[in-house]
Structure 1
């Protein structure tokens, strides 16, 4: 089943000289892990934010599981989607348990159900609930905070997870660990993941397929292998060349 479909989607911001997203059409199957790759200002975050209606398209249609989201209340759309950002956005005055329980509390779940769900999710993201549920965000490392952000986004069991450069501010060793954890989570949960990054290695490591964006347009949408072997245009070829150059540097050190 198609989880996400975009049909001629364009987003223009007032006073901008060109569209942030320009005539994008694509479809994503349920359960796929899709990465969106591109440089700053290429439109990748704008594309992501239109899926949960943080931005509204200027033109075009976005469908989630066959339903035009412009016909659905924004709050309802957002509660069906998990959303994780680079800054995490945990509430500093609330415990980890209360942070994870934010949306279930808004939905007025029963207290015992919420407590079970919080413990289950902390286990899922690799944090022992007995140790972490009573702590505050300031008592956690950046990587641990990002795990809590993942748990919070998973709280109401969304079918779609949107992740906007969630590991961008984290050190390289922790970032690699979190990437591996995210792949494990995706394999276990089989949700549809849409993950924004400007790091080609991260995009190719995580994505079943990769959306390469530049200038608001999708330059190529294919498997990492097919993009690496058959770049669709000069921009995509330059991305591949830069990644190969990095590889050569490490090979020359051996």
Structure 2
């Protein structure tokens, strides 16, 4: 299996900052993995992910996506090949669901019939009835439905890599669980490589084929859920896991 994403001694320091937001980070993600990136606010997880599609450029080090050094790639062309989903969804309020999903395919010059067919496929994939939802506007959708449309839009041009930045953070617990389950199914069916940022330990453990735990810009542990639960690398990792266990014990 080939390497989808590779960081080689990557540093990111913002102007006037006294510390690195991402501090000499190196790792590899294999093709078709679902990597969850876990940590508290300010740990560097979102900064790390935003460097993958060049929303931020590294201060030093190299980032490779499917073997290509992205610093030598046009950022607009790079982003068209990478799906991106954020918590705020970012749907265009004046466009229908179909038009929102069709944004990138239209930019790429797809014909109308191909776009219509693709929108139908994607709405079915995210469990929204195409005939019922394609002509609705975002304001006519619930938060969970909007997030499903956001997922469909990110998948529209058939990216091999998906970046998801706390996409379910603003969704209620029941719909959040449903969306997690849908994402796992989509990941398996589409053969995607996914990087999923979250501050929710349970979500990270449920979704990740491997979990990257960050603190103060550094990777604390990067392993499977089983290994992390059984062999936490340090006190920080152990404390994260302990917080989940204490929450469960509260209800016993």
What is the TM-score of this pair, normalised by structure 1? 0.98
How do 1:196-207 residues align onto structure 2 when only pairs under 5 Å count?
196-207=197-208
Per-residue deviation, residues 68-110 of structure 1 (Å, max 9, x unmatched): 0111100111011000000000000000000000001111111
RMSD, matched Cα = 0.6
Work out the CA distance in 2 between the residues paired with 1:144 and 1:125: 9
Confirm or deny that 1:18 pairs with 2:23: no
Structure 1's unaligned 5+ residue stretches are none
Per-residue deviation, residues 174-210 of structure 1 (Å, max 9, x unmatched): 1011011111111111100100000000000000000
The answer for the alignment partner of 1:132 in structure 2 is: 133
Shift of the alpha carbon at 1:248?
A: 1.3
Work out the CA distance in 2 between the residues paired with 1:164 and 1:117: 24
SS at match of 1:195: strand
SS at match of 1:188: helix
SS at match of 1:51: coil
Work out the CA distance in 2 between the residues paired with 1:107 and 1:31: 24
Work out the CA distance in 2 between the residues paired with 1:72 and 1:229: 41
Confirm or deny that 1:123 pairs with 2:119: no
SS at match of 2:214: strand
Work out the CA distance in 1 between the residues paired with 2:77 and 2:117: 24
How do 1:48-197 residues align onto structure 2 when only pairs under 5 Å count?
48-197=49-198
The answer for the alignment partner of 1:214 in structure 2 is: 215
- Would you say how many aligned residue pairs link Structure 1 and Structure 2? 251
The runs of at least 4 consecutive aligned structure 1 residues that moved more than 2 Å come to none
Work out the CA distance in 2 between the residues paired with 1:218 and 1:183: 24
Structure 2's unaligned 5+ residue stretches are none
Work out the CA distance in 2 between the residues paired with 1:58 and 1:215: 16
How do 1:209-248 residues align onto structure 2 when only pairs under 5 Å count?
209-248=210-249
The answer for the alignment partner of 1:43 in structure 2 is: 44
SS at match of 2:110: coil
Work out the CA distance in 2 between the residues paired with 1:15 and 1:201: 35
